[in-house]
Amino acid sequence: MDAKDILGLPKTPLPITQEKKSRPQKDSQRKPDGISREVYALTGGLAPLMPSIEVSQLKRRPPSDEKITWQWLPFTSSARKDDLQLYHWARVVNGVPPTGDYSFAKYNKSVDVIRYTDEEYEKYLTDPTWTKEETDQLFDFCERFDLRFIIIADRFPTSRTVEELKDRYYSVSRAILIARAPSPGEVAGHPLVKEPYNVSQETERKRALSMVLSQTKHQERKDAEVIAEAKRIAESRMAAQGVEEPDLPVTSDIGPENAEKAIGHGDTISPSNVHVPSAAVAPSTSILADNTSTLASLRMLWVYLRTYALEQMVQAASSSAGLRTIKRVEQTLQDLGVNLKPKVPTKAVCAEHLELRKEILTLLNLQKQLQYKEAEGSSFRDGSYGDMPGTPKRSLRAADQDRTFVPDTISFGGERVGKREQKRKGPGRVAETPSSPAHKRPRKLKASDL
Amino acid sequence: MINSSSSKKHGTDQQEISGPTAKSQRAQMGKPEESENKKRLKDVEISVPIVFGNAAFWLGKKASDYQSHKWTVYVRGATNEDLSVVVKRAVFQLHSSFNNPTRVVESAPFELSESGWGEFEIAITLYFHSDVCEKPLNLFHHLKLYPEDESGPMSTKKPVVVEFYDEIVFTEPSESFLARVQNHPAVTFPRLPAGFTLPPPVPIEDESKRNRGDTKDHPLSQWFLNFSEADELLQLAAARQQVQAHIAKLRRQISMIDGQNQQLKPPSDQ
């Protein structure tokens, strides 16, 4: 501001003054009549998207030329068999009452139940399990109750299931239709003839439906698991078959994706005994699919380096694992004293390396599973869910891991001495603070990874 | 003689049936015809173990600003055998600051010597004989001149050597290729499908030529590193054993916990 003073420039440029002038105008323009300014501001100060109802329009009504009155008049309905006369309010226009049938009479529809004659019964419709009286009664009921079989079954004097009644009714009607038709071709299009009632199928269907509807949550989960499992296997089979063609990545991509989803859904699908072997099987089937597709793509190269091939296979094997898991695998390899990339990558060495990586992946998966199960167990014990999945039996696992890993770092030769000292800190630290949540696992597997 | 076995999936089937004797005659006459190269063996791979890297000598007193080291980058057979049975030529792509940075080496030993001061990535492209593979293969090597331990004194006598072991894998090798290299020490010959026999190899005209390309008596051979797969295999086997034991233990624990959980489950869930 001062600078402008010194320079002699105008304090505020012209556009601002213009804005100031227009703003109060716009403000008063924006405020509509009929609503107070504050209420209008609630809408955000803008015109609503829906056209608002103009109050003036509400009171308007087109002036009608006719004279309308309402009168209490008698009426009859064609739907009734008797001559009952009832009364109701009728809209009379210019003195003329409404004409025509009662407006609801047209809804009085009924089913065309075929009635047979006695001769027809003797000729076509006899059945060992049904007497004529029963059949007659059935048809009476059908007409009376408009084919509402559940009601018919309820009222039927002898106990018959709904399926039996339906079966009798439909087969009788079908037989009559065919018998009465001048030629079979004419009734071939009739739904009764085209699709006859299938008792066994219907019974089965209803039984299955009731089973599905009455499933417990537990059962539902198990079913979902089995279906997902079947899908995975089918897709890995497809992928393995599709290996013959070069353009196959789509199917094999689905494989690991599904495996990842299945593993990721470990918390929604409650792990059960069924799940453990299936979890072990499923990743291996999808990894198998990956392997075969990688092999196929390598073969297409005609020439490649063994290290490149190993890289591809490792990638394929870890495709279902996240970045963290891969890092854990690499850390495990280092702890075991194995080179992340083999120094002498011969065919045998590469094969062993790949198998080792896969086994480590399995190991990590199992560890995670164990964790979930322990969390489940402790939540059952506490009776509350939402526990941190980190309250495992520490003594069990931590001690095991100490025992397995520390001694072996010693056995791998002098170069590991440096690492051994580093490792000492890890387990030592763990022993010092047994209950601190930050040190639930030895250093190599961080709690944050889980 | 050739058994026309069913393992040959590709290739001209007519030739299989028509003249086994004619083919072997042709093979012995010298250059195999193009159509024969097309007979490839599926599910068979042949590999050539190689070592590639560089050796760099510090020039000591003779070093100048721009030429402090004399180095050689090379690709050799892992057991110092002659690679020219497989490799037709090698092209070394150097840093653009070098004159003619694309250096072609037409014969074994496939190496290139130069002097300079800088470390950079060298792209090595191996071109193979036409019956081996039409496609070239690329290797990348980062030239190393300075020792790892920077504080130590640099010696003009002892070079800085960096080598990498790898294997070139040829998928679906052609019959003629297999026949040619059947007994060559540079090549890891695969196990052929049962009942399959190859034509006898074409006799090499010059016996002396055969050995010249190997690096057994190479001036740098005293610095070559030894690569033994035995150590690595041992390491891997031990690691696998450990992991497998751990897996078994975890599986036992999981089934134990499962048993516990089953008993603990609230009745409504069952």
Name the more confident of B192 and A418: B192
Residue of A nearest to B229 (CA): A344
Token pair 């504080």: residue: B151
Residue of A nearest to B261 (CA): A377
Report d(CA A393, CA A386) in Å as an integer: 18
Contacting B residues, span 38-57, partner chain A, CB-CB under 8 Å: 47, 49
Is residue A73 situated within a structural domain?
yes
Residues in chain A within 8 Å Cβ distance of B38: none
Mean pLDDT value across residues B31-43 = 59
Centroid of chain to Cα B26: 30
| Chain segment B234-262, per-residue pLDDT in tens | 999 999 999 999 999 999 988 888 888 88
Inter-chain residue contact B257 with A218, CB threshold 8 Å: no
Is residue A83 situated within a structural domain?
yes
Domain CATH number, residue A123 = 1.10.10.60
Is residue B190 situated within a structural domain?
no
Is residue A247 situated within a structural domain?
no
Is residue B135 situated within a structural domain?
yes
- Helix-helix angle B229-264:A275-299, to 10 degrees: 150
Write the single-letter amino acid at A237. Answer: R
Is residue A190 situated within a structural domain?
yes
Question: Is the CB of residue B47 less than 8 Å from the CB of residue B80?
Answer: no
Residues in chain A within 8 Å Cβ distance of B246: 363, 400, 404
Q: What is the number of domains present in chain A?
A: 3
Average pLDDT, chain B: 79
Report d(CA A332, CA A364) in Å as an integer: 10
Predicted pLDDT at A154: 92
With b for 16 or more beta-carbon neighbours within 10 A and e for fewer, the B117-153 pattern comes to eebeebebebbbbebbbeebbebebebbbebeeeeee
Report d(CA B143, CA B232) in Å as an integer: 26
Boundary residue ending a domain (A52, A85, A107): A107
Q: What is the number of domains present in chain B?
A: 1
Kindly state whether B98 is in contact with chain A, defined as any CB-CB distance less than 8 angstroms. no
Is residue B173 situated within a structural domain?
no
Question: Closest to B257 (Cβ–Cβ): which among A359, A370, A404?
Answer: A370
Beta strands in chain B (DSSP E): 45-58, 69-77, 87-93, 102-105, 110-116, 121-128, 137-142, 160-171
Residues in chain B within 8 Å Cβ distance of A360: 243
Is residue B210 situated within a structural domain?
no
The 3-class SS string of chain A reads CHHHHHHCCCCCCHHHHHHHHHHHHHHHHHCCCCCCHHHHHHCCCCCCCCCCCCHHHHHCCCCCCCCEEEEEEEECCCCCCCCCCEEEEEEEECCECCCCCCCCHHHCCCCCCCCCCHHHHHHHHCECCECHHHHHHHHHHHHHHCCCHHHHHHHCCCCCCHHHHHHHHHHHHHHHHHHHCCCHHHHCCCHHHHCCCCHHHHHHHHHHHHHHHCCCHHHHHHHHHHHHHHHHHHHHHHHHHHHHCCCCHHHHHHHHHHHHHHHHHHHCCCCCCCHHHHHHHHHHHHHHHHHHHHHHHHHCCCEEEHHHHHHHHHHHHCCCCCHHHHHHHHHHHHHCCCCCCCCCCCHHHHHHHHHHHHHHHHHHHHHHHHHHHHHHHHHHHHCCCCCCCCCCCHHHHHHHHHHHHHHHHHHCCHHHHHHHHHHHHHHHHHHHCCCCHHHCCCCCCCHHHC
Is residue B215 situated within a structural domain?
no
Is residue B161 situated within a structural domain?
yes
Boundary residue ending a domain (A353, A379, A405): A379
CB < 8 Å & 24+ apart, contacts of B191-197: B192/B41, B192/B44, B193/B5, B193/B7, B193/B41, B193/B43, B193/B44, B195/B3, B195/B5, B196/B3, B196/B5, B196/B7, B196/B41, B197/B1, B197/B2, B197/B3
Inter-chain residue contact A362 with B247, CB threshold 8 Å: yes
Is residue A400 situated within a structural domain?
no
Predicted pLDDT at A206: 93
The two three-digit tokens of residue A187, written as one number: 């009734």
Question: Closest to A303 (Cβ–Cβ): which among B135, B242, B265?
Answer: B135
Is residue A74 situated within a structural domain?
yes
Question: Closest to B251 (Cβ–Cβ): which among A366, A381, A412?
Answer: A366
Predicted pLDDT at B246: 92
Boundary residue ending a domain (A197, A231, A260): A197
A101 and A122, same domain (yes or no): no
Q: Is the ipTM of this complex over 0.85?
A: no
Contacting A residues, span 291-350, partner chain B, CB-CB under 8 Å: 298-299, 301-307, 309, 332-333, 336-339, 342-349
CA distances from A364 to A275, A330, A447, B154, B244 (A): 16, 12, 13, 46, 12
Domain that holds residue B152: 50-165
Residues in chain A within 8 Å Cβ distance of B190: none
Domain CATH number, residue B57 = 2.60.40.1970
A141 and A79, same domain (yes or no): no
Residues in chain B within 8 Å Cβ distance of A356: 236, 239-240, 243
Nearest to A162 by CA among A177, A144, A141: A141
Is residue A187 situated within a structural domain?
yes
Q: Which residues contact A305 (CB under 8 A, 6 or more apart)?
A: B137, B139, B166, B167, B168, B169
Residues in chain B within 8 Å Cβ distance of A412: 235
Is residue A375 situated within a structural domain?
yes
B102 φ/ψ angles, rounded to the nearest 5 degrees: -95, 110
- The residue among A343, A344, A404 with the most chain B CBs within 10 A of its CB, best to mutate, is A344
The two three-digit tokens of residue B3, written as one number: 């058994």
Instruction: List the pLDDT tens digit at each of the 450 positions of chain A.
Output: 677 677 776 655 444 444 444 444 444 445 566 667 777 777 666 666 676 677 666 766 666 777 888 899 888 888 888 888 999 998 888 878 888 888 888 888 888 888 888 888 888 888 889 999 999 999 999 999 999 999 999 999 988 899 999 999 999 988 888 888 888 777 777 888 888 888 889 999 999 999 888 888 888 888 899 999 999 999 888 887 776 554 444 444 444 444 444 444 444 444 444 444 444 444 455 556 667 788 888 888 889 999 999 999 988 888 888 889 899 999 999 999 888 999 999 999 999 999 999 999 999 999 998 888 888 888 877 765 444 544 444 444 444 444 444 444 333 444 444 444 444 444 444 444 444 444 444 455 444 454
Domain that holds residue A148: 118-197
The model carries a pTM of 0.48
